[in-house]
Structures are given as C-alpha cells and as structure tokens.
Structure 1
Amino acid sequence: MMKNFYQLHTTRPNGETVTMDAYQGKVILIVNTATKCGLAPQFDGLEKLYQKYKDKGLIILGFPSDQFMHQEPETNETIEEACRLNFGVTFPLMKKSDVNGKNTNEVFLFLKKRLGGIFGSKIKWNFTKFLIDKNGKPVKRFSPITKPEAIEKYIQKLL
C-alpha cells in the first residue's frame, strides 16, 4: 500500500484520472455519497461548506457508492448531473466506487487504514467523511450522521 496520500489516484465519472497530488496544499473532505440515501440532504450542507471555504483552500470530493442498499442508482454518466440538479452540488464528484470489499477504491483503502472507525475500519454507511490536512495527513473520520456543519470547526482549524 502506498504511504503517501498524494500518490493515490481515482477516476472522474467521465473516465479522467485524478491524482490526489492535484490537491496538495488544500484541506480535503472526502465523502462517500448516495443520491437516494436518507442522509442525502447532507449534500446541501457539504455544498455550503464548499462555497464558504473553497477560496480559502478547501476541496470536497464526493465518491458515489452503491454498496449500501443500492441507494446510488445513477450511472457514471448521470451522477454529476443528478447531484447538480437535485442537490446543487458543484464540488467534484468521482466515479462510482466501492468503499468496502475486494474492489475498494484505493483512496478508501488508504483512509480506512489510517483512520479506523469505532467498530473497525469498514465503512458502515453512506456519508462517512474523512478530513485530510494540507500535508495529505488524514486527521479525522466522521460518522454518516455527523452533519457537515459540525465539521466546520475542524475545517477552520486546518485552513
């Protein structure tokens, strides 16, 4: 496994490869998302954080996942449009990804290893959030029920 967050890469819904080093020097909030989840109203809070702090160095990266009761029915072709139209999302979204199991996205493998949860490292549900500092160090993991506004104080300290 890679030791450095900035060596990791992932894919955008259009197939474009994104290397995490594109976000060096930024505070990063990574979230596994799902448009049909009961927690989907958190998109609004995430977007508010993004709008408030993006010019100060915050980037939010959404990783849609269909691993929890098939609550992400969108395809890679329709994810961004659905999130923009239904939730006003403008922060970057990545390709649909597994966050658990043998096909886990390498970003989540890295984050889960660095920041295990209370009951182990496995992601339990949609909208688990990981906060990464400007040096690429994962600093805090937030549960799915943690509302984005509760994360703001942590973001402010890191910016």
Structure 2
Amino acid sequence: MKFYDLTVTNANGEEVKMSDYEGKVVMVVNTATGCGFTPHYTPMEEMYEKYHDAGFEIIDVPCNQFAGQTPESDEEIHEFCTLKYNTQFPQMKKSDVNGENAIPLFKFLKEEKGFEGFGKGPKALAMGAMLKKIDKNYKNNPEIKWNFTKFIVNRKGEVVARFEPTVDMKKVAEFVDELMKEN
C-alpha cells in the first residue's frame, strides 16, 4: 500500500484520490473546532496561501474522537472554519482516526510514522500528563494522541514527518518550507 493508492471522502461525500496529489507536498491533519489547538488553522491557512500554487496541499480531516471537541455536522464545521479562519484548503468528511473505524488514510499514516513523543515545553508536559491518566502506555503505540496531529508527505508520496499538536507551528512551517524547495 502506498499513499497514492488511498482515498478519503470529502465533506460533500465525494471520493478524493490521493493520486490526485502526486508530485505535491501534502499535509494531512486531524482537526477539531473546539480544541485549544484550533488556532493552528491560522498558520495552516498561511502556509496554504503561500505554497498552494507551488504544489502544497492540506487535507483537513475533522475528528470527534478527542474529548468530543468536534460535535458539529460537516456543514457546520466547514462554516466555522471558513468564517472564523478563512480556510480555503479541502475539508474532508468528519472521520475516525483511531480504532476499528479509523479511515484507511490514517491507518496508513500511523503505520508509516508512529508516535515519537510530544517534544519539550509546558504544552508537551501537560499533554503527556493528561494522556498518562487515560492510557499509561500511550507512548508505546502509533495511535493519534490528540487533535491537530500533522503528517507531511513529500512529492514522492513518502510520509516524511509527523508533528504532534504540541510542536510549534513555526517548526512545521520551516519543515514544509524546506520540502517546497526540493524538486
């Protein structure tokens, strides 16, 4: 299985082929409307505007698996994102990213890039402490830990990075910037 073999359903119920993104740098991210990390939409949109014409895409997959922070319908989620954050990148159907109902795209991404930690700093420590209460072994599985986990796929379809939501968006932007310079 390769990234380009996968599909995902968009918010309108249409199938989106990852092969349509061949030759592009792609960020796949699970999102939420009521999360402390929801402001990540702002730098994500900035990256999209800066690089979209040069071959950068964002695949936004809303998910309600983390503290029920996305209870809205697909239509309401889209309205929230476009009105509050002026997002222009494609939004997919609200989907599960973990468990038996996880969409194949996220199963693949997690197999390619497992969890490597939250990094350092107060947000990372707080996230680790919170998850330890839920699952003492959270560090030992590739599951998505929270909203706004970002996977970066290079122009060859290789999953080259996984950024947890605690990683500063400037680091994510710097990584994408470097990938965009590659041919």
After TM superposition, the structure 1 = structure 2 runs for residues 68-107 of structure 1, keeping only pairs within 5 Å, are: 68-107=66-105
Task: Return the match for 1:11 from 9, 12, 23.
Answer: 9
The alpha carbon displacement at 1:84 in A equals 0.3
More off after superposition, 18-27 vs 69-78: 69-78
Task: Return the match for 1:108 from 106, 109, 133.
Answer: 106
Structure holding more helix per residue? 2
- Paired with 1:146 and 1:55, the residues of 2 have a C-alpha distance of 26
The alpha carbon displacement at 1:88 in A equals 1.2
Structure 1 runs of 4+ off > 6 angstroms?
A: none
- Paired with 1:109 and 1:140, the residues of 2 have a C-alpha distance of 15
1:25 aligns with 2:23: yes
1:154 aligns with 2:175: yes
TM-score by length of structure 2 reads: 0.83
| Aligned length in residues | 157
Aligned to 1:53: 51
The alpha carbon displacement at 1:95 in A equals 0.4
- Paired with 1:93 and 1:156, the residues of 2 have a C-alpha distance of 22
**Amino acid of the residue matched to residue 34 of structure 2?**
K
Task: Return the match for 1:40 from 38, 56, 75.
Answer: 38
The alpha carbon displacement at 1:146 in A equals 1.7
The alpha carbon displacement at 1:147 in A equals 3.1
The alpha carbon displacement at 1:86 in A equals 1.6
TM-score by length of structure 1 reads: 0.95
SS at match of 1:41: helix
Aligned to 2:146: 125
SS at match of 2:50: helix
- Paired with 1:53 and 1:158, the residues of 2 have a C-alpha distance of 11
- Paired with 1:97 and 1:138, the residues of 2 have a C-alpha distance of 20
**Amino acid of the residue matched to residue 123 of structure 1?**
I
For residues 31-59 of structure 1, the C-alpha deviation after alignment (integer angstroms, 9 at most, x for no partner) is: 10001001101100100111111111110
